[in-house]
């Protein structure tokens, strides 16, 4: 599907907000979701009564009717509500749900809210069978397994899965090593010191990153995203409606130049190790085509650095560097905030945090804030176009291209 930039079904971001990310033990899910929703509405200069659709993304609460719970706090107006769950692309999918509703003409304004309370969640991805009661080995499930295979047939824990993804890139493109992966985390921790909304704002030397507790080689503790609580929200508006709003609202509005959601095309190896590359490449390809933006024109990128190994391979997947040259890209400081294409100037998932449902909207907040010139100390000067990327295993990948433009 190609969107003609001249068509008038464009959708714009009218308001955006994210809560401080961190451990919010004194708040519940609705405190966080309400703060971001009301914040985004206020930022947009509208109210819940202007909204024609609401989408809520919260992966760990996907059966809890989070959208309706939120309405009961901030405004029950009877509009359609979608509760969205799509792995780590949950927030981005909620945003797309609102966008598509507007494109379909069912609403001219809507709000997407992502929220998650992860607490101290530990390592994600173990799954498998618990040992309860009498132990009898009987095959069950689609693989006919008789016991949990975690640690017996390799690992399915996230630090390891993404370590294997990084090492696979190293295998295919020689010359990528532990230090280059570690440089990614050095950068994101440094970037986060300028972001007051980040979970952590502490700088670490490359040596400190590399000598931190090894989780799953080559990912050390400082190369893994933390479990984080937080929420983010965006208010979207049709171009036609935006034209009726104030000059100030129009000036601050950000154009969604591309919005793409992909899943895994079939690849054989993905039967045993998630393929985070192919669907990201496909999403990026479509997003560049939809927007007409060249990757080298990007002023900033917020990509899914759940682990340092993941960020490095996405430089290549998103075409921020030449094929096979992701290691060289980080060596040359290309993704640093003063580099060729700044990546994760928010601190990224590694330091800003990764409240799963909120992540895919928080990165839109970050890029939009720079495009509006409102990012304060961490502003990328003169930013005109940015890209956001999230990927959830299973898999779901969302890429958005956002632009500062005149309506």
Partner 1 sequence: MGKQVPIVGYLAIDDGPPHLVAWEAVGSGALYFDRRNADADQGGTEFKRRKLANTGRLRSFTIVHRTVPGVPAPYVSALVDLDGGGSVKANLVNVPPDPEHVKLGMPVRMTTFVAGTDDDGTEAVAFAFEPSEA
Contact residues for partner 1 (CB under 8 A)?
123, 126, 134-137, 139, 142-147, 149-155, 157, 159-160, 163-165, 167-168, 170-171, 178, 213-219, 266, 268-269, 271-273
- Closest contact distance (angstroms) between CB of 321 and partner 1 is 20
Beta strand extents in 2-106 (DSSP E only): 11-18, 54-57, 81-84
Lookup: tokens for 153: 């047939």
Lookup: tokens for 101: 């509703």
Q: CB neighbours of 63 closer than 8 A, spacing ≥ 6?
A: none
Q: Which of 246, 280, 249, 285 has the alpha carbon at shortest distance from 262?
A: 280
Q: Among residues 208 and 289, whose Cβ is nearest to partner 1?
A: 208
- Closest contact distance (angstroms) between CB of 168 and partner 1 is 4
Q: Among residues 213 and 338, whose Cβ is nearest to partner 1?
A: 213
Residue 264 near residue 395 (C-beta atoms within 8 A): yes
Q: Among residues 170 and 185, whose Cβ is nearest to partner 1?
A: 170
Q: Among residues 305 and 366, whose Cβ is nearest to partner 1?
A: 305
Q: Among residues 165 and 237, whose Cβ is nearest to partner 1?
A: 165
Q: Among residues 197 and 223, whose Cβ is nearest to partner 1?
A: 223
| 46 alpha-carbon distance from chain centroid | 26
CA angle 51, 257, 320 (to 5 degrees): 130
Q: Among residues 6 and 142, whose Cβ is nearest to partner 1?
A: 142
- Closest contact distance (angstroms) between CB of 43 and partner 1 is 40
Q: Among residues 44 and 170, whose Cβ is nearest to partner 1?
A: 170
How would DSSP label each residue in 301-368? Answer: EE---SBHHHHHHHHHHTTSS-TT-HHHHHHTTTTSTTSSS-B-TT-HHHHH---HHHHHHHHHHHHH
142 DSSP assignment: T
Greatest Cα pair distance, the chain, in angstroms, is 70
3-state secondary structure of 159: helix
- Closest contact distance (angstroms) between CB of 309 and partner 1 is 9
Q: CB neighbours of 347 closer than 8 A, spacing ≥ 6?
A: 188, 189, 191, 192, 193, 195, 198, 199, 200, 201
- Closest contact distance (angstroms) between CB of 60 and partner 1 is 19
3-state secondary structure of 44: helix
Q: Among residues 126 and 206, whose Cβ is nearest to partner 1?
A: 126
276 DSSP assignment: T
Q: Which of 359, 322, 323, 321 has the alpha carbon at shortest distance from 339?
A: 321
- Closest contact distance (angstroms) between CB of 129 and partner 1 is 11
- Closest contact distance (angstroms) between CB of 317 and partner 1 is 16
């Amino acid at each position: 599907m190609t969107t003609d930039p001249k068509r008038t079904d464009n959708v714009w971001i009218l308001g955006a907000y994210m809560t401080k990310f961190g451990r919010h033990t004194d708040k519940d899910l609705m405190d966080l979701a309400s703060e971001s929703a009301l914040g985004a509405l206020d930022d947009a200069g509208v109210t819940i009564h202007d909204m024609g659709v609401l989408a809520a993304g919260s992966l760990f609460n996907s059966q809890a009717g989070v959208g309706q719970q939120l309405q009961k706090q901030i405004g029950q107006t009877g509009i359609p509500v979608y509760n969205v769950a799509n792995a780590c692309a949950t927030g981005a999918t909620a945003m797309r749900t609102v966008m598509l509703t507007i494109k379909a003409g069912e609403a001219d304004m809507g709000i997407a809210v992502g929220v998650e309370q992860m607490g101290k969640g530990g390592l994600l991805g173990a799954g498998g069978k618990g040992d309860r009661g009498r132990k009898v080995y009987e095959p069950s499930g689609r693989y006919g397994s008789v016991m949990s295979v975690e640690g017996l047939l390799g690992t399915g824990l996230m630090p390891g899965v993404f370590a294997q993804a990084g090492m696979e890139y190293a295998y295919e493109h020689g010359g990528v090593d532990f230090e280059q992966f570690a440089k990614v985390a050095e950068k994101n921790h440094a970037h986060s010191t300028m972001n007051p909304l980040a979970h952590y704002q502490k700088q670490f030397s490359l040596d400190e990153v590399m000598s931190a507790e090894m989780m799953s080689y080559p990912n050390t503790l400082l190369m893994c995203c933390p479990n984080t609580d937080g929420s983010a929200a965006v208010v979207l508006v049709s171009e036609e409606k935006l034209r009726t709003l104030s000059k100030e609202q129009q000036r601050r509005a950000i154009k969604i130049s591309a919005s793409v959601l992909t899943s895994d095309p079939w690849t054989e190896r993905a039967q045993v190790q998630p393929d985070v590359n192919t669907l990201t490449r496909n999403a990026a390809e479509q997003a560049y085509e939809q927007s007409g933006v060249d990757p080298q024109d990007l002023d900033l990128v917020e990509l899914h650095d759940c682990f340092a190994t993941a960020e490095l391979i996405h430089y290549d997947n998103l075409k921020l560097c030449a094929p096979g040259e992701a290691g060289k890209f980080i060596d040359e400081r290309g993704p640093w905030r003063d580099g060729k294409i700044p990546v994760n100037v928010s601190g990224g998932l590694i330091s800003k945090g990764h409240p799963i449902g909120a992540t895919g909207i928080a990165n839109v907040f970050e890029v939009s804030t720079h495009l509006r010139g409102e990012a304060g100390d961490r502003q990328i000067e003169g930013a005109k176009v940015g890209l956001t990327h999230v990927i959830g295993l299973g898999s779901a990948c969302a890429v958005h291209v956002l632009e500062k433009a005149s309506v």
